[in-house]
Structure 1
Amino acid sequence: MQAQTPDFGEQVLIMDPAMPAAEVQAALDKLFKQQESSQFGTTRKAVLFKPGTYHNKIKLGFYTQLIGLGQLPDDVALKGGIQVEANWHEGDATQNFWRTVENLSVTPDNGTMQWAVSQAAPLRRIHVQGNMLLDDNGGWSSGGFIADSLIDQEINSGTQQQWLTRNSVLGSWTNANWNMVFVGVNNAPSSAQWPNPPYTVVKQTPVVREKPFLTIDGSGKYSVFVPALRSASQGISWQQKKVPGEIITLDHFYIAKASQDNARTMNTALAHGKHLLLTPGIYQLDTPLHISQANSVILGLGIATLQPITGTAAMTIDDVDGVKLAGVLFDAGVKNSEVLLQIGTAKNAVSHAKNPVSLHDVFFRVGGAGIGNATTSVIINSNHVIGDNLWVWRADHGDGIGWETNKTQHGIIVNGDDVTMYGLFVEHFHQYQTLWNGENGAVYFYQSEAPYDVPDQAHWMNQQVNGFASYKVANHVTHHKAVGMGVYCFFNDNPTVKLHSAIEAPMGEYIQFSHITSVSLGGTGEISHVLNQSGDAAKPGNEVVRMVGH
């Protein structure tokens, strides 16, 4: 007996291999036409593929998620491929954000899957039976992230400025630009000649939990699979077919819809022990979503978006074990929020090492779609939190932007101890982009740009110092590690502006930085030092500066 399909609402499309290929193609083409250039649009969509084979080639636009519903990626086979290009932006893919693919296999019809993207466009748990190209045939792109994936042949990163590959298996990799980082990757390229090419390789991933995902069984019953925590891992999690983890049937979830739900209805469900499935849409919140139960799963589909409208946080997570937050965009409202996401109420000594909170494909935006204000986008007070692909962005283009318009201080503040980040992208905030106060922090891949719109040097002084470092480790910290870092400037409102140092940190035996790059994009502005007083200036005529580390 087939189970009844849950009501996911109108923003979720469900594809069945029994459907005519032309019908599937027509629906996907219509969706792409709608979303191709809709960078700050309001439509959110998820496309779910039931297990089977599909003879379709999919072009993927903004705010669209493709999800294979199988137990394993090869259970859903796309014989035709997936393509992301930047025709809408004249081949420049630096604004191809907010789209994602997970849990399926792809056989490109021409042998190569083109994935020309930038931030907030992750690939997870996919099997590419062929090659991959990460740019639009020479146009710039500024990605990116791939995890838990098998690529049979070659990945050509092309003009990608930076990229993080985690826990994957590659045929091979070619090309590089500024900062290519590989963590727990089988057949990663050699890092022996860094920075020529600039490959940074960490053999094993210290501790990670893969992103929870929606799946379906043979009877048509939906559930969410929550992968188990892994330590000292390398390669994909699904190599042995039987993947450690927990199956949570969908009757344990509250299925929210932006058209009918609000903070009260969702908080009532959370307080009664329900997990939360956010179907695609923009959820305007007059009070924060409050996560108080240990092991809660909050899973967004189709780049589900949370926007506070009364100046509160969008979400607060209590200092509890094992919360998993995945696939959500936090979008600041017009009225200033002191914080958009807060994890843990205050700094404490409680250990969550055995069952940490984990964040997967969690994105933040201040401005761009309209005026937005947030003092800090995310504050982490709990210990042992794992971040797995975070883009924290004060908008530099779109609507509602300007030095005095989308106002901020910091992107992320980490107060908790033993916090680990894989793929931390933080850009354009007024003060420190990242402020790290906790002990034993670890970051594997960091990408940041100083604010573009500094009016003049006088408006951007940290006491007597030019500007605010992108990455600040507090002076009292004694243990910290960061690997594969890129900090860039582009002071297009005033190219005479200077940033004194890309990174500020105390010096000590257990403060470790390795493979740092600073860049003056197009020679527009200057980063005077790489780390504290060390490193040459990235400036016109000497745009890219490298530092092995400290």
Structure 2
Amino acid sequence: MPLTTPPPRRRLPRVLVAAGAVAVLGLPALTTPVAAAPARPAPVDLGARVVVLDPSMPVQQIEDTVNTIAAQQVDAEMGTARWSVLLRPGTYGSAADPLQLRVGYYTEVAGLGASPGDVVVHGKIESYNRCLGDGGTTNCIALNTFWRTLSNLTLRIDGGGQDGCRQSANFWAVSQAVSVRRLDVQGSVPFSLMDYCTAGPQYASGGFIADSRFGAVVNGSQQQWLTRDSVVGSWSNGVWNQVFSGVEGAPSDEDFPTPPYTTLDTTPVSREKPYLFVDGPGRYAVRVPAAQTASRGVTWADGTTPGRTVPLTDFFVARPGDTVQRINAALASGKHLLLTPGVYDVDRSIRVTRPGTVVLGMGHATLTAVGGSVPLTVSDVPGIVVAGVTVDAGTVESPVLLQVGATHPGVGHGRFSDADRAADPITLSDVYFRVGGPHVGRTDTALRIDADHVLVDHTWVWRADHGVEGFTAGVNGDTDRWRTNTGRTGVVVTGDDVTATGLFVEHFQQRNLVWEGERGQVVLFQNELPYDPPTQADWQQPDGTLGWPGYTVAPDVTQHRLWGGGVYVFNQNDPSIVTEDGFSVPDAPGVVLEHVMTVHLGAGTVEHVVNGVGARSDAGTTGVPSYVVRYPAP
């Protein structure tokens, strides 16, 4: 959606973790000693931006610390600070003194229990609209409240002490690059995905929920949303594209598109994101959930999430400034990789080659390409999991930002069967990409998948439509942006049997998504075409076709499924630009799209939804989607 350019980033203080307590420079010090535990192991150094909380700490002290971080991060959209706020097992807050926390940019809040019930927050954990006008008092929206995470705890909603409107819900007003996972929400008031208490217009454009249990959920102004393998008591309304996959209590989609629900009884392929936890004696470990097929509901309802536990001692704990050579040596020796919060300059590929390796980022850890590098490569071997990592393009063009398969000839081929790969697929969870924004970015392709049996469980692949690069030519600097922040292709999939649950791809200069493999499955696709082509000639294929589809399946593919897809147009640099089709797929019986749409956001035109079918989205239909219920028609 069109945004006002955010203010410049701020310099932020450092946070140090030591001896189980937290010292925060420039923030209220957490000096209350942690309650003693028998034979507690030596503290683990998780980096300068990790805050570890304990239930023995006073509520006010915790609030002051966490909410001060949130206040520093409220306008830090293009900043470099990354934060991880971790809660040890126990109960935080009470009816008499509820704990109420805010979450800002590049921040994760996560419980350290083995199950969500091990960490209980009596109070609220919230994200509000960001106000972009008049010194932060008007134009309040959630369209760019990106990069924040909430996971692995029980939330007993209590707005005690807040005003009447704020008490009416726990507000999680977010958009892309956000996830809610392993959350158990309790209480009589709803969990709202829209902040309706801050001055409007209150738009929102997220998001993602998985492995969570809710009572009432208010969708509000959320344009699109995926809820996967969860439980909901109720779900109110929808805007354009709301998808439920494997959700107990999900609403019916029989009246699509009024409301615009898409409901799958089960999820074709799933694997929950790995999570950090502490055991009884206080030792850190990572739980790596097992892959599932035809999944439904939460994984923790009857006990521990199925999977394996990897002690933290089996990880190389990386910090910004560690060389790629050191990281690769640790990976080659058999270590897993934990990326503590921060920005990592990567001048050559981090190579993940061993089956079953886990790469887990904390606090939106970010790999930035240097000198045209490919920051991360993953070999075609089973069981590799990459989670919680953001990959940024650098100023020199990279051929790709994350390469899965086909990078190390011979590695894995012949050693593993197709059944091995299917049982333990390579998995990308909450892996995000950015081209431009905080600095000039250039890549040919962001994500390339050349391996079979890969699961992409929530990604946002973003060529930035706004930033702090200082562009001036064109509308909001778009002409400069088009010629400087270059990214031709968002995602290429050549592997067979690849599944994506929550695929968000935006603003690339030619193909946003190209799918060439067989038997691909996508559950929710969201795309905005680029805002910034200077002219129609810049947004035209060599054969004269007007524009590129947001979603392309190669002509020779015979089997492919998509459930719930949207392509949006806002050609603000030249509103006369036309795109022929939002979706382009082969006419084959095994290629089926269900519940797809295009929508006009104020500039530009999309002539048809898919393959010449579906009504035009133009200035006469602004904000009103053009739907195709099924293609091909039954």
TM above 0.5, yes or no, is yes
C-alpha contact 2:115 2:304 (8 A) present in aligned 1:
no
User: 293-302 or 25-34, which moves further after superposition?
Assistant: 25-34
- Quick one: which of 229, 239, 242 aligns to 1:177? 239
C-alpha contact 2:55 2:91 (8 A) present in aligned 1:
yes
Show the counterpart of 1:443.
522
Show the counterpart of 1:75.
118
C-alpha contact 2:126 2:170 (8 A) present in aligned 1:
yes
Say if 2:198 is the partner of 1:135. Answer: no
Show the counterpart of 1:516.
596
Percentage identity across paired residues of the two chains: 42
Say if 2:558 is the partner of 1:478. Answer: yes
Say if 2:498 is the partner of 1:432. Answer: no
CA–CA distance in 1 between the matches of 2:304 and 2:511? Answer: 43
Write the mapping of 1:311-326 to structure 2, written as runs, cut at 5 A.
Answer: 311-326=372-387
- Quick one: which of 451, 472, 479 aligns to 1:382? 451
- Quick one: which of 32, 52, 55 aligns to 2:70? 32
C-alpha contact 2:290 2:424 (8 A) present in aligned 1:
no
- Give a deviation string over 1:73-105, Cα, whole Å, max 9, x none: 121111111111114433210000000011011
- Give a deviation string over 1:319-342, Cα, whole Å, max 9, x none: 111100000000100000000000
SS at match of 1:164: strand
SS at match of 2:80: coil
Gaps in structure 2 of 5+ consecutive residues: 1-38, 94-98, 133-138, 160-167, 472-480
Show the counterpart of 1:373.
442
SS at match of 2:305: coil
User: 399-408 or 164-173, which moves further after superposition?
Assistant: 399-408
Say if 2:339 is the partner of 1:290. Answer: no
- Quick one: which of 79, 82, 90 aligns to 1:52? 90
C-alpha contact 2:355 2:383 (8 A) present in aligned 1:
yes
Write the mapping of 1:113-132 to structure 2, written as runs, cut at 5 A.
Answer: 113-130=170-187, 131-132=190-191
SS at match of 2:66: helix
Say if 2:62 is the partner of 1:13. Answer: no
CA–CA distance in 1 between the matches of 2:525 and 2:396? Answer: 29
For this pair of structures, how many residues does the alignment match? 547
CA–CA distance in 2 between the matches of 1:313 and 1:242? Answer: 37
- Quick one: which of 138, 157, 167 aligns to 1:108? 157
Show the counterpart of 2:41.
3
SS at match of 2:359: strand
CA–CA distance in 1 between the matches of 2:149 and 2:549? Answer: 31
User: 290-299 or 13-22, which moves further after superposition?
Assistant: 13-22
TM-score, normalised relative to structure 1: 0.98
Write the mapping of 1:266-415 to structure 2, written as runs, cut at 5 A.
Answer: 266-345=327-406, 351=418, 352-400=421-469, 402-415=481-494
- Measured after TM superposition, the shift of residue 542 of structure 1 is 2.2
Gaps in structure 1 of 5+ consecutive residues: none
- Measured after TM superposition, the shift of residue 399 of structure 1 is 2.7
C-alpha contact 1:70 1:76 (8 A) present in aligned 2:
yes
- Measured after TM superposition, the shift of residue 108 of structure 1 is 2.1
CA–CA distance in 2 between the matches of 1:399 and 1:370? Answer: 7
- Measured after TM superposition, the shift of residue 117 of structure 1 is 0.3
Show the counterpart of 2:7.
none
C-alpha contact 1:381 1:414 (8 A) present in aligned 2:
yes
CA–CA distance in 2 between the matches of 1:170 and 1:156? Answer: 11
- Quick one: which of 191, 214, 227 aligns to 1:165? 227
- Measured after TM superposition, the shift of residue 264 of structure 1 is 1.1
CA–CA distance in 2 between the matches of 1:159 and 1:225? Answer: 35
- Quick one: which of 209, 227, 230 aligns to 1:146? 209
C-alpha contact 2:345 2:369 (8 A) present in aligned 1:
yes
Show the counterpart of 1:257.
319
- Give a deviation string over 1:135-172, Cα, whole Å, max 9, x none: 12161000000000000x21111111100000010010
- Quick one: which of 542, 547, 550 aligns to 2:628? 547
Show the counterpart of 2:567.
487
- Measured after TM superposition, the shift of residue 274 of structure 1 is 0.3
C-alpha contact 2:130 2:145 (8 A) present in aligned 1:
no
- Measured after TM superposition, the shift of residue 355 of structure 1 is 1.2
- Give a deviation string over 1:391-450, Cα, whole Å, max 9, x none: 000000013461101011100000100000000000000011000010000000000000
TM-score, normalised relative to structure 2: 0.85
C-alpha contact 1:36 1:88 (8 A) present in aligned 2:
no
SS at match of 2:68: helix
SS at match of 1:146: strand
C-alpha contact 1:96 1:118 (8 A) present in aligned 2:
yes
CA–CA distance in 1 between the matches of 2:141 and 2:115? Answer: 34
CA–CA distance in 2 between the matches of 1:457 and 1:80? Answer: 52
SS at match of 1:170: coil
CA–CA distance in 1 between the matches of 2:534 and 2:269? Answer: 42
C-alpha contact 2:114 2:304 (8 A) present in aligned 1:
no
User: 66-75 or 20-29, which moves further after superposition?
Assistant: 20-29
CA–CA distance in 1 between the matches of 2:327 and 2:177? Answer: 25
- Measured after TM superposition, the shift of residue 128 of structure 1 is 1.1
User: 443-452 or 531-540, which moves further after superposition?
Assistant: 531-540
- Quick one: which of 278, 298, 312 aligns to 1:236? 298
- Give a deviation string over 1:20-52, Cα, whole Å, max 9, x none: 222211111211111111001000010110001
Who wins on radius of gyration, i.e. which is larger? Answer: 2
User: 81-90 or 433-442, which moves further after superposition?
Assistant: 81-90
- Code of the aligned partner of 1:447: Q
CA–CA distance in 2 between the matches of 1:134 and 1:207? Answer: 26
Show the counterpart of 1:214.
276
- Code of the aligned partner of 2:192: L
Runs of 4+ in 1 over 3 A off after TM superposition: 87-90, 346-350
- Code of the aligned partner of 1:314: P
